[in-house]
């Protein structure tokens, strides 16, 4: 497999003279290759060339032509689905079936926003003075997109596609652990007709290159997905010149199972709501509340379904759970497990590494976790779930909402009034009833509280990549 090794700038792969990024295949722990990182000076120059690409063409291109190019990008991505999926699988150990789905999702995102170009517009407003008052939705300029390693391709697509559709240009910094599919995205989008400089891919250190982008005076908006800690720093730096920001951050999402639900189905479906992507998922339902009358039966079924998950080689079609992304990420999760053991939690299954190389960790079910314990309160970002019984709906919801996070969650009930009542009460940006579906290209995605600011996906994303201009034309 041929890996991209250089930043994609001004329509071509070019040398990067910043710190090189060494890649390790997480499934084997063997070196995979290296990518040249950009220096701060190269990142700054790329922002300036993205500004020129905005001013000298992309901003003023006929919307129909912009749409055509983005449809073309979607087509070219689909044509390259398999090599892109293989690349993601090797880079971060993503099971190949999931990797294919995610590349397909990225292509669909480009298609959706290509279609949005001609369907997104301002308003005419009957102002009291008479005359004609109307709004324009205008592009902003250069957008800095900073993305994490857990869903590298779809998140890159769901930032780049609406920003480009709205007429902006984009500089995208992939996470250092996962630069490969983002680099190919730059190359393929250019081959599909995106002019040089409109989408630049800048691998490099978050601390240096990320900071340089967030503080660059030509960047009009920072669209960030990552941890709450770094999101806070991005917000502080961006406040210096009042840059627009959107932040998609961490989560500690609840999965609430009522006794009146089809709880056996919930028990069968719920392991993948937390263990998919080896638990490295901002939407992972890592806190489970199960009504006491069905708790024992639910736990038995949930543990049996967890034990049946296929953990192993991510290149195989049957694999459901691949390795963790890095040795460090696995160690961080194991520290949480040590903490849980010390606090008296019971491990119903998992908690250990399977034999062999690679950064694998078996899916782990914790019982008897105290509500003040770290494993109950903090985002673990690994294959760990804690399950607790509840007796009283109101008390359970108080605990759900005591979290500083508010990203996602699921409710299982067959009582429609309860579904509505609980959905309205849970403080989170995304909720699903009798399902674990969190992400729909057509619907807004984002968090309440410390899970973020702003929304990705749906038409809401277009609002985030445009400024509203009001124009009044006098009749007198």
Tokens 């263990």 label which residue?
275
Closest CA to 168 of 79, 227, 244: 244
The stretch near ligand NAP (CB under 6 A) out of 113-121, 140-148, 163-171, 287-295 is 140-148
Minimum CB distance to ligand NAP, residue 136 (Å): 29
Helix ranges, 326-472 (H): 327-342, 374-377, 393-401, 416-425, 458-464
Q: Which of 248, 291, 313, 334 binds ligand NAP (CB under 6 A)?
A: 248
Considering 89, 282, 283, 375, which one is annotated as catalytic?
282
Nearest CB to ligand NAP, comparing residues 24 and 234: 234
| Under rule CB under 6 A, residue 333 binds ligand NAP | no
Q: Residue 257: CB partners within 8 Å, gap ≥ 6?
A: 263, 266, 267, 270, 288, 289, 290, 291, 294, 298, 412
Encode 172-206: b = buried (16+ Cβ within 10 Å), e = exposed. bbbbbbbbbbbbbbbbbbbebebbebbbbbbbbbb
Catalytic annotation on 82?
no
| Under rule CB under 6 A, residue 42 binds ligand NAP | no
| Under rule CB under 6 A, residue 449 binds ligand NAP | no
Minimum CB distance to ligand NAP, residue 174 (Å): 6
| Under rule CB under 6 A, residue 380 binds ligand NAP | no
| Under rule CB under 6 A, residue 279 binds ligand NAP | no
Catalytic annotation on 282?
yes
Nearest CB to ligand NAP, comparing residues 432 and 451: 451
Task: Specify whether the CB–CB gap between 138 and 466 falls below 8 A.
Answer: yes
Nearest CB to ligand NAP, comparing residues 177 and 419: 177
Closest CA to 189 of 42, 62, 75, 38: 75
Bridge partner residues of 30 (DSSP): 25
Nearest CB to ligand NAP, comparing residues 117 and 247: 247
Chain centroid to CA 419: how far? 26
Q: What are phi and psi of 318, to 5 degrees?
A: -75, -15
Minimum CB distance to ligand NAP, residue 220 (Å): 16
- Compose the 180-219 pattern: x for residues touching ligand NAP by CB under 6 A, - for all others: -------------------------xxx--xx--x-----
Structure tokens at 327: 């040795």
Residue ranges in contact with ligand NAP by CB under 6 A: 146-151, 173, 175-177, 205-207, 210-211, 214, 225-227, 230, 233-234, 248-251, 282, 379, 381, 407, 447, 451-452
Active site residues: 248, 282
């Amino acid at each position: 497999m041929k890996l991209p090794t250089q930043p994609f700038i001004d329509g071509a792969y070019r040398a990067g003279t910043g710190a090189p990024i060494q890649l390790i295949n997480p499934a084997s722990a063997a070196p995979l290759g290296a990518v040249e990182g950009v220096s701060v000076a190269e990142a700054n120059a790329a922002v300036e060339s993205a500004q020129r690409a905005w001013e000298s063409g992309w901003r003023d291109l006929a919307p129909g032509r912009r749409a055509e190019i983005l449809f073309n990008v979607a087509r070219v991505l689909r044509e390259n689905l398999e090599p892109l999926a293989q690349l993601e699988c090797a880079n971060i150990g993503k099971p190949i079936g999931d990797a294919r789905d995610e590349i397909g999702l990225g292509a669909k995102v480009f298609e959706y926003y290509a279609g949005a170009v001609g369907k997104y517009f301002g308003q005419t407003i009957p102002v009291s003075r008479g005359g004609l008052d109307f709004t324009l939705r205008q592009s902003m300029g250069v957008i800095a997109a900073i993305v994490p390693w857990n869903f590298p391709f779809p998140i890159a697509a769901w930032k780049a596609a609406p920003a480009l559709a709205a007429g902006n240009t984009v500089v995208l910094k992939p996470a250092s652990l996962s630069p490969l599919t983002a680099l190919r995205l730059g190359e393929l989008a250019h081959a599909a007709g995106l002019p040089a400089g409109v989408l630049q891919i800048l691998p490099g250190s978050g601390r240096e290159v990320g900071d340089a982008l967030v503080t660059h005076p030509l960047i009009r908006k920072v669209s960030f997905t990552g941890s709450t800690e770094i999101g806070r720093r991005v917000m502080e730096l961006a406040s210096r010149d009042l840059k627009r920001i959107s932040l998609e951050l961490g989560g500690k999402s609840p999965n609430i199972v009522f006794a009146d639900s089809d709880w056996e189905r919930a028990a069968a479906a719920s392991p993948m709501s937390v263990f998919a992507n080896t638990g490295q998922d901002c939407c992972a339902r890592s806190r489970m509340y199960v009504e006491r009358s069905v708790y024992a039966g639910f736990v038995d079924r949930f543990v049996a379904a967890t034990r049946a998950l296929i953990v192993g080689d991510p290149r195989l079609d049957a694999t459901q759970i691949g390795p963790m992304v890095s040795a460090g990420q696995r160690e961080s999760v194991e520290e949480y497990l040590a903490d849980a053991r010390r606090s008296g939690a019971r491990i119903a299954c998992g908690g250990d590494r399977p034999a062999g190389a690679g950064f694998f960790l078996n899916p782990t079910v914790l019982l008897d976790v105290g509500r003040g314990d770290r494993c109950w309160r903090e985002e673990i970002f690994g294959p760990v779930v804690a399950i607790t019984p509840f007796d009283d709906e109101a008390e359970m919801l108080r605990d759900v909402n005591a979290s500083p996070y508010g990203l996602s969650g699921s409710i299982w009930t067959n009582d429609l009034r309860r579904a509505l009542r609980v959905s309205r009460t849970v403080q989170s940006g995304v909720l699903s009833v009798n399902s674990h579906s969190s992400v729909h290209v057509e619907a807004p995605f984002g968090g309440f509280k410390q899970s973020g600011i702003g929304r990705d996906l749906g038409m809401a994303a277009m609002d985030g990549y445009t400024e509203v201009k009001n124009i009044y034309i006098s009749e007198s």
